[in-house]
Each structure stands twice: as structure tokens, then as C-alpha cells.
A and B are shown apart, each in its own frame.
Chain A
Amino acid sequence: MHRFANPTTFMRIANAIFPWAAGLSAVLFLIGLPVALVTSPADYQQGDSVRLFYVHVPAAWISLMVYGMMAVSSAAFLIWRHPMASVSARALAPVGAIFTALALVTGSLWGRPMWGTYWVWDARLTSELLLLFIYLGYIAIADAFEDPERGDKAAAVLGVVGSVNLPIIHFSVEWWNTLHQPSIIKMTGFTVDGSILLPLFLMLGAFTSYTIAIWVLRLRSELLAVKLRNARMSEVSLAPSLNRGAAE
């Protein structure tokens, strides 16, 4: 039961943040989505495809932010053995994986009309894809053990190792890309106008507050799952004679 060493304080703060994050996200989506998808002007070069940007850029941003949160949680778990830290990391991993996948999908949908292909081995795309693999590996190892606590610990080590490795991966992919092919696409090539910045920032805020709200929700359900598991375990251990009877 030591998993509950100190979740009360933690959850009190998290629960206090939740309505604010959820409310802010709802308001920002309500303003941001119409602005981004309808009222903002179409780009003179990209036409309406520029609107994918307002989903793509925030998704990519969240994919990195969540990994940062996960790495901090993992490190905190390894250093202070704070049980909530591993619950937090576990809760974050699927969120990060989904936003990484969303960034990849929207990027490739945007790439088809713009670059004429769904996929290029651009440095950013490649390192985003590798980030997705690292997320999936994290989820896989967290669930790979009979004893969930062992999964927590192994996943925490992987989370920290990954955070050391991600910059190296990104840098090496960039090096590889610049040597292999001249970069045809430059993000900075487009003049970024104020009309693009406003919806972009609205959507960035909406995505970020949404992620915080989802994180708290998932923390709650992870805690409930632990409680449920523990309750079942004690039920089983309370009825040893029953068990023995079944085994024989």
C-alpha cells in the first residue's frame, strides 16, 4: 500500500488545477477552432492546407512537452522513490504517443499536397518517428512484468535513458539528413504572418491545457486501477482456504 504514501496532497493540487485546465482548454478550443479553421485567411502559397498547421504544430509541441514531463517524473521516481511520480509517468506515456502519432499523420497529410509525397526522410520527421518508437517501448516495458512495480522501475530507467538519448538522436538524424540530401524544405521559408500566429497560439494554448487536464484525469484513473488491484489482491489473500481448494 506504500503507493499511497503521499498521493492525497498531490491529488489535491492536481484536482484543483483540473477545472482550470479543462475550462481554459474548452474556451480556447471554442475560440481557436473557428479562427484556425474558418476565419483565418488561407495562405497565398499553401491555400487551405495551412490550416493543418494549427493542429500539426501544437501536436508536435505536446509530443515533446509530454516526454519532458515523463522524463522528469521518471527521474523523480528513481531519485526520491515517490510513488506518485511513477503513476504520473505511466499516465503520460499514452498521451505522448498519441500526440506524436497525430503530429506524424497531420504532417504527412500536409506533405502530400505541399511536397507531393506523404513521407520524406526529413530530419524532423525521422526524429519524431523515433520518438514514437521510444514512447511505444516505454509503454511496452511498463506492462511487461507480472509485478507492476517492477514495470514502473524499469520504465523509469528507460525514460531517463531516453531523455539523454533523444537530443543525440535528433542531432545525428539532422547530420545524416544534411549530408544525404540537400534540404528542399525549410520551415522558415514561409513568411509567418500575424494572421497565422494568432490561431497558432490559440491552438497551442488549447492543446497544452487539454493535455494538463487529461493528465489529471489519467492520474485519477491510474490511482483507481491501483486501488482496484490491491482490493482484489487482499480479497484473494483473505480467502486462502478457498484458493487452496480450487488448486487441488
Chain B
Amino acid sequence: MSVFGAVLKRDLALAIRQSADSFTVLAFFAIAVVLFPLGVGPETNTLAKIAGGVLWVSALLAALLSLDRLFTVDFEDGTLDQLVLSGEPLVFVVLAKTAAHWLTTGLPLILLSPVLALTLHLPAEGYGALLTALLLGTPTVSLIGAVGAALVLGSRRGGVLLSFLVLPLYVPILIFGTLSVEAAILGVPVKATLALLGAMALFAAVLAPWAAAAALRQATE
């Protein structure tokens, strides 16, 4: 477990020193959300209706854009080879890097989302569900994304390929995330969809690091 702490600390330190990266992801999130009222029209009822979906889709796309920096830099400068050669369990390395990724992109996205929800006139009942759903769903986004990011290391056309691989796998998160917000607005119990989001996060936390570790090993062979 010491390797978990060490990698987490290192990645967080790097992210803080290059905080422009995280900021860009947030800026993209904001821009993407702002485009929707411009495209759909400023009508309050329409916006309120689609607010949950728009926020989720934009958050997924923003997180997707940030995935390539999860491993690419370490892959190019040889750090990844060192980590693989170190003999430490690669699964914990992946978990630490994913945790760092979530702390530097997922968490800021969650914090920004209520502000953006205001601009979309999200009904007041929706905020709690939106935040909880994002809190439960974004770790899965980082975990599945880690598998995709590890798979495309060293490939041609990595970025486009990554979104192509990962977006279909994000569909369940999008569905239950949006449904939670909608259910809260309608006054229906949201426990079921939130519980499913939590279940997917636990499921992904157990399986995704293994798949990503296998992919990293292949990439550094």
C-alpha cells in the first residue's frame, strides 16, 4: 500500500504544479454546458427539463478529454516503465493514479456543477440528487477511463480512439445519473438509481484496475 500513497502524492503534486490542466477541463465543462441553451433556446422550462442530462453529458465529455494525461506523460518519459519494473503491485499504482485523476478532475467538476445547474434553471429539488449522483458516478468514469487510457497508449489516433472505446461503456452511468436527477425533480425516491451508481462504482473499483494494469503491462513490454 505504500506505493499507493507515494504515487497518489506524486500525481497530486504534479497536478497542483500544472493546475492549468485541471482548469482547462473545468473551462471545457462550462463551455459545453453554455452551448446547450444557445443551441436549444433560452426557454426556462425546456432548459429545466434537460438540465440533468446536459450536465451529465458535458461532465462525461470533460472527463474524457482529461483521460489522456492519466498515463501518457509517464508513458513517454519512461516513468511508467520504472513503475512496472519496480515490482510493486501495478493494481495499486493504477488505483492511485485513478484516485489522483478523480481528485483533480472529477471533484472540481462536481463543485462547479451546481453553478452551471443554476444557469440551466435546474429545479431546486434536483440539486441534492445531482451532487450525490455525480459523487457516486464520477469515480466510475475515472476507473473505466483508466482502462481505456491504458489501452490506447502508443497507438495511432489515440484521442479519438479513446472516446470511441470509452463512451459506450459510460452509457449506464449516464442513464442512472440522469434518472436520479429526474426522479428527484418528480419527487420519486432516488435511492434505487443512486444505489445502482454506487454498485457500479464498487464493481469498477474491483475490476477496472486489473484490466488497466494488464493493459499497462502490455504497453510497456
Contacts and interface: CB of A to CB of B under 8 A. Distances in A.
Contacts of B207: 164
Interface stretch (B40-48, B80-88, B162-170): B162-170
Nearest to A152: B218
B161 interface: yes
Contacts of A161: 147, 169, 211
Contact of B165 (A146, A158, A168, A171): A158
B157 A173 contact: no
A173 B169 contact: no
Interface in B176-221: 176, 179, 182, 196, 200, 207, 211, 214-215, 218-219, 221
Given A130-B171, A175-B179, A157 B161 contact: no
Nearest to B193: A175
A10 B151 CA distance: 29
A161 B175 CA distance: 19
Interface string A55-98: 00000000000000000000000100000000000000000000
Interface residues of B, number: 29
A152 B152 CA distance: 12
Contacts of B165: 137, 140-141, 158
A164 B200 CA distance: 12
B154 interface: yes
Contacts of B157: 144
A247 B196 CA distance: 59
Contact of A169 (B152, B164, B171, B211): B171
A157 B166 CA distance: 13
Interface in B130-161: 147, 151-152, 154-158, 161
B131 to A, nearest CB: 21
Contacts of B152: 141, 144, 154
A145 B154 contact: yes
Contacts of A133: 164, 167-168
A3 interface: no
Given A130-B168, A154-B215, A161-B211, A141 B175 contact: no
A124 interface: no
Contacts of B161: 137, 140-141, 144
Contacts of B154: 145, 150
A14 interface: no
A82 to B, nearest CB: 16
B151 A169 contact: no
A147 B206 CA distance: 30
A143 B172 CA distance: 27
Interface in A156-183: 157-158, 160-162, 164-165, 168-169, 171-173, 175-176, 179
Contacts of B221: 150
A144 B158 CA distance: 8
A119 B138 CA distance: 31
Nearest to B207: A164
Contacts of B168: 130, 133-134, 137, 165, 169
A173 B171 contact: yes
Given A130-B168, A144-B156, A161-B169, A150 B179 contact: no
Given A161-B147, A173-B175, 6 more contacts: A140-B164, A141-B161, A150-B218, A154-B218, A161-B169, A161-B211
Interface of A: 78, 130, 133-134, 136-137, 140-141, 144-146, 150, 153-154, 157-158, 160-162, 164-165, 168-169, 171-173, 175-176, 179
The 7 closest A-B pairs by CB, nearest first: A172-B172, A144-B155, A176-B175, A153-B218, A137-B165, A133-B168, A172-B175
14 contacts: A130-B171, A137-B161, A140-B161, A140-B165, A141-B155, A141-B161, A150-B154, A150-B218, A157-B215, A158-B165, A161-B147, A161-B169, A162-B169, A175-B175
